Amino acid sequence: MITNLLVANRGEIALRVVRSCRESGIGTVAVHSDADAGQAHVAAADAAVRLPGVTPAETYLRADALVDAALAAGADAVHPGYGFLSENAAFARAVLAAGLTWVGPSPESMALMGSKVESKRVVAAAGVPVLAELDPDAVTDAEFPVLVKASAGGGGRGMRIVRERAELPGEVRGARAEAASAFGDGTVFCERYVERGRHIEVQVLADTHGTVWAVGERECSIQRRHQKVLEETPSPAVDDRLRERLFDAARAVAETVDYVGAGTVEFLVTESGEFFFLEMNTRLQVEHPVTECVTGLDLVAWQLRIAEGERLTGSPPPVRGHAIEARLYAEDPAAGWRPGSGTLHRFAVGEVGTEFGVPDRHGIRLDSGVTDGCEISVHYDPLLAKVIAWAPGRRAAARRLASTLASARIHGPVTNRDLLVAVLRHPDFLAGETDTGFLTRHHAATVLAAPSESVVRWSALAAALADARHRRAHARVLAELPAGWRNVVSAPHTTVYRHDGTEHAIHYTATRAGLVPADDEDTGVTVVSSAPDRVVLEIAGVRYAFDVARYPGSTAVDSPLGSVSLVPVPRLPDPAAALAEGSLTAPMPGTVVRVAVTVGDRVRAGQPLLWLEAMKMEHRVAAPADGVVRELTATPGCQVDQGSVLAVVAPDGGEADDADDVTTAKEPA
C-alpha cells in the first residue's frame, strides 16, 4: 500500500496528482525549484522539498535529487506526472533501486517505447501498421515531403517538415542540434509526411495481471509547432469499425511490451482511413481530462491502484457525451508562438464546476497551476491551464468552451486564448474537418486570433476615459472637479496606447454632460457612463460594458467584443531608451544556444542570426532587413533579459564597421 507519495513534477499536473492522492487517503510530498517556492502545488501538498536552483537541469531533471527528496520526506512511492523525467527509464530504475514504488510502467517498457526508431520496429513485428523509416541521407525525390523527427523525446522538439531536397541537410542538422540539447540524444530519422493527417490516440490502462483496457480515443489534430492545442473525445472522424481497429492495435502494442499502468498509443490516420503507429507515451497525457469526463474514470487514481497491484475487472465504462480540452498557453500566436513570461496579474475562469477532479455532471472543468499574481517563469513550459468542456454533444461542448474562454479574465503575458476561441467557433472545426495542418491552412496565428481594428479602437477609447476618471479620483487637489475640466476649453485631451506595435491616439473632451470622444472616427459612439474601472459605450445603437484594469506598464480591457491588452505610451519618452537603428532585441528572457553570424557578415532579411532557448523551446531571431552585422553582443550560453540588444544589423546603405571587408554569412551548420 502506498501511504506517502512524492510528485516529481510541478504546476497543474502536480496539483492533479495531489487531488487524487487526497481522495485516496495518500499523503503527498511536493518538490520545487527556487523559482517555484511560492507556487500552488507546493502549498497543496502535505510536505515540500526544495531542489536548489532554477533551471530544469538543476532541479526537476535531476533523478538523484528527486530520489533523495523522496527518501528525506519519508515517501514510499513516486509519481512522475508528465514531461521532465516522466518517460526516463533511468529515473524509474533509480526509484525502484531506492526501494520506492514507481507509479508507472516498467523501466524496460519505457526504454523500449522511448526510442521512436526501436518502438516502430517492435510494433511492426506485432502486425501494427507503421510508416517506413527513411534514412535522411538516402531520401529520394519521390519520397518528399518528409518529416524529420527526433528518436528520443517528444513535444515537437527536433521535428521539421521538409518539402524540397535542398532544404533537407540544413533541417536535419538543426533537428539533431535541437534534439541533442533537449534530450541528450541527437538521433533523428525521416518518414513520409502525411498531408491532412489526423492525430488520433488511444488511452490504455493495463494491470499487472495481464488485462489491458482501451479506454476511448482522443483526437489531437489541432496543433502548432507539432504540439497539441485542442483535444477532444470521441473523434469526429472515427466510426465504430475504425475505433475497433484502433483499439485492437493499441492493445497489441501494450501487450507486446508488457505494459503496466496508464499509457497512450498514438496513431496518424489518413483521409482514406489508413492508420499508422507514431509512438507510445509511457505516462499520463496532458489531455487525459477529456477521457475522464466521458468515462467517469479517475486515471490518476487507477495509476495508483495498479501500482498497488489492483486488478482491472469487467470492461471499460462506456463513453457518455463529448469533451473538448483547450490548452491555455502564455504565448503570442501572431509572433511565431513566442512564449510569454512575467506577472500574471489576474486569472479568473467563470462558471467552473470542477477543478482537477472527475465531474459528475456536464459543465466546465479547470486544471490550472496558476493564480493571481504568480510569476510565469521563462524556465518552464508556458502552459497556464487546461479548460475542459463536457456536454451531451460535440457542438454543445465547443460552444460552452468557447464562451467560457472568451469571458475569462486573463491579465498579464499575452496568451493564445483568442486563437482557441476562434478555432472552436470556426465552421470547419464545428464540421469536424480537422487535421494537423488546420492552423496553418486557416492562417490562424495571424488572422483568426487577431481582434478587429474597431474593437481595439473602442477598447482604447474606454481605457482613455477610465484613466481620466481614475486620475480625477486620485487627484491631490481639486478632486471635486469633473474629469478633464478646464476653465478655458482649448485642444482635446489626448491619450496614446500601443497594441501589437501600432499606436492608437484617443482624443476626448469634457462637456457638461461628461467625457465625450473628439475624433471623427469615433462618430456614432456615445459614452453612456464612465468610471475608473468600467466604461459603457453605445455603438451603433448597442450598449457594451468595457471593464478596465491597470497594471504597471499595461492596461487590460475586457468586453463582450473581446479582450484587448494595451500599453500606455508616455507623453514624454525617455531619450536614453532609444535604440540604434537595426537593433535586434531579445523577445523574451532566455539562453542563447546558437549564433550563426559574426560581425561583418552580410545577411538577408529573414535569415536566422541566432537562437534563444526559453520555455523548453528554441526561438529563432532573424535579420529584420538586408544588411551587415555591425554589432554582436550575444554569445552561445549567455543569459539575456527581454529587451536586451543581441545584435545590430546596419541596413543596406547604412554604415558598417570595416565595410570594405564584408563577408556573406553562411547558413548555420
- Distance between CA atoms of 193 and 162, rounded to whole angstroms? 9
Q: Which helix (H) or strand (E) holds 506?
A: strand 502-511
What are the cell numbers at 119? 518502438
Please report the DSSP string for 120-154 in residue order: HHHHHHTT--BPPEE-TTS--GGG-SEEEEESS--
C-alpha cell at 241: 469499425
What b/e sequence results for 368-390 when a residue is b if at least 16 CB atoms lie within 10 Å of its CB, and e otherwise? bbbeeebebbbbbbbbbbbbbbb
- Angle (deg, nearest 10), helices 394-407 and 417-424: 150
Interaxial angle between packed helices 116-125 and 240-256, expressed in degrees from 0 to 180 and rounded to the nearest 10: 110
Choose among 50, 45, 51: nearest CA to 26. Answer: 45
The DSSP secondary structure of 529-555, one letter per residue, reads EE-SSEEEEEETTEEEEEEEEEETTEE
Instruction: Please state whether beta strands 663-664 and 601-603 pair in parallel, antiparallel, or not at all (unpaired).
Output: parallel
Which helix (H) or strand (E) element contains residue 218? Answer: strand 212-224
For the beta sheet containing 608-614, the strands, ordered from the edge strand earlier in sequence to the opposite edge, are: 617-622, 608-614, 590-595, 639-640
Rounded distance between C-alpha atoms, residue 488 and residue 482, angstroms: 14
Judge whether 283 counts as a catalytic residue.
Answer: yes
Q: How far apart, in whole angstroms, are the C-alpha atoms of residue 641 and residue 585?
A: 9
DSSP 130: B
For residue 620, the SS3 value is strand
Cα separation, 604 vs 628, in Å, equals 9
Catalytic residue selected from 224, 283, 394, 417: 283
Report the amino acid identity of residue 559: S
CA 494 – CA 429 distance, rounded (Å): 43
The answer to whether the bond into 492 is cis (omega within 30° of 0) is: no
79: cell is 509519481
In angstroms, the Cα distances linking 285 to 83, 219, 297, 535 are 9, 13, 14, 43
> Which grid cell sits at 287?
489531455
Cα gap 513→48, rounded to integer Å: 59
| Largest CA-CA distance found in the chain, in angstroms, rounded | 88
Q: Angle formed by the axes of helices 299-307 and 288-295, to 10°? A: 90
| 341: amino acid identity, one letter | S
Spatial distance between the Cα atoms of 20 and 356, rounded to a whole number of angstroms: 9
Residues 6+ apart with CB under 8 A from 606: 622, 623
Catalytic residues: 283
